[in-house]
Amino acid sequence: MSASDVRIGFIGAGNMAEAMAGALISSGKMQSRQLTLCDIREDRLSYLKTQYNVHTSTSAAETFETASTVVLAVKPQGMRALLEELRNKGLHRSVQRKQIITIAAGLPLSFYEGILYEGLDETSAARLPIMRVMPNTPALVLAGMSGLCGNAHTTPSDMDLAEALLSSMGDVLRVTEAQMDGVTAVSGSGPAYFFYFVEAMVKTAEKMGFQSGEANRLALATLNGAAKLLLDSGEEPADLRRKVTSPGGTTEAAINEMKARNVAEGIQEGMLAAARRSRELSELI
């Protein structure tokens, strides 16, 4: 299948689907007309149509049927109802081979297989490849990070297709399914940790007397510059930190205070809680 034949249908057109669809278009990987965004919220669809000129639909079944790659992008708690709706309409017995990509946190591939492979022989060609992807919202600005794994019915070319789509939005790491909870805790939720840090820095700068715009400039240019330095220099973060930290100076005073308050431990425990929650989500469905 050539790139121009690919039709991607997103079922669930929320924040993450928008980031991915926006990236596919702005990177030039896909034309707007190759994308359908499906949601139950009409207002959401009219915003997306205006913003990206994509096809929109309120029908999950129609979106599933017409796509060559389906991205399931509803919340984990809504996934069972969606899969059962598709199965009850017989769409899991698809005659057209297509890839199913789910971006839901936590839910294992076996959960999708249990519903979408119901009544289909082990060797049935109708068993569609199912891949799990954990993307993140910086995809929207082509600076995303995605983890990717596939089930036993996924061929190398299915994985290559998924990787090609995801690499237009940023970096992609192929992982085992067992690593997905970790990917979710590091890169899936990771942007929020960073935004939390920015919020704290900006708030503190404001308390020091800077106006909101000034506080934002000071914090954002610094964090952007630090990330760029880290990426471009190839140096270890600890080494770069040492280069800022003069003995007896201001940085040392700040880091000592943060260490005394166990900031690193708070980050570690937060990330472990995210991985735990990812595992728990599979028990809720």
Ligand X SMILES: O=C(O)[C@@H]1CCC=N1
- Under the rule (CB under 6 A), what is the footprint of ligand X? 105, 184, 188-189
Binding of ligand NAI by 104 (CB under 6 A) = yes
Binders of ligand NAI among residues 105 to 124 (CB under 6 A) are 105
Binding of ligand NAI by 131 (CB under 6 A) = no
Select the residue whose beta carbon is closest to ligand NAI and give its number.
Answer: 14
Question: Which residue intervals of the chain are DSSP H helices?
Answer: 15-26, 42-52, 60-66, 76-88, 109-116, 156-167, 180-183, 190-207, 212-233, 237-244, 250-260, 263-284
User: Which residue in the set 23, 35, 67, 74 belongs to the binding site for ligand NAI (CB under 6 A)?
Assistant: 74
Binding of ligand NAI by 188 (CB under 6 A) = yes
Distance CA 222, CA 218 (A): 6
Backbone phi, psi, residue 47, to 5°: -60, -45
Residue 262 C-beta: closest distance to ligand X, Å: 24
Distance CA 140, CA 170 (A): 9
Distance CA 16, CA 186 (A): 16
Binders of ligand NAI among residues 34 to 53 (CB under 6 A) are 38-41, 44
Binding of ligand NAI by 205 (CB under 6 A) = no
Binding of ligand NAI by 150 (CB under 6 A) = no
What H or E segment, with its residue span, contains residue 174?
A: strand 170-174
Binding of ligand NAI by 277 (CB under 6 A) = no
Residue 185 C-beta: closest distance to ligand NAI, Å: 11
What is the Cβ-side half-sphere exposure of residue 253, based on CA atoms within 13 angstroms? 3
Rank residues 218 and 285 by Cβ distance to ligand NAI and give the closer one: 285
Contact 120, 127 (CB under 8 A): yes
Q: Which stretch binds ligand NAI (CB under 6 A): 32-40, 211-219, 232-240, 254-262?
A: 32-40
What residues line the site for ligand NAI (CB under 6 A)? 11-17, 38-41, 44, 60, 73-76, 78, 82, 103-105, 134-137, 188
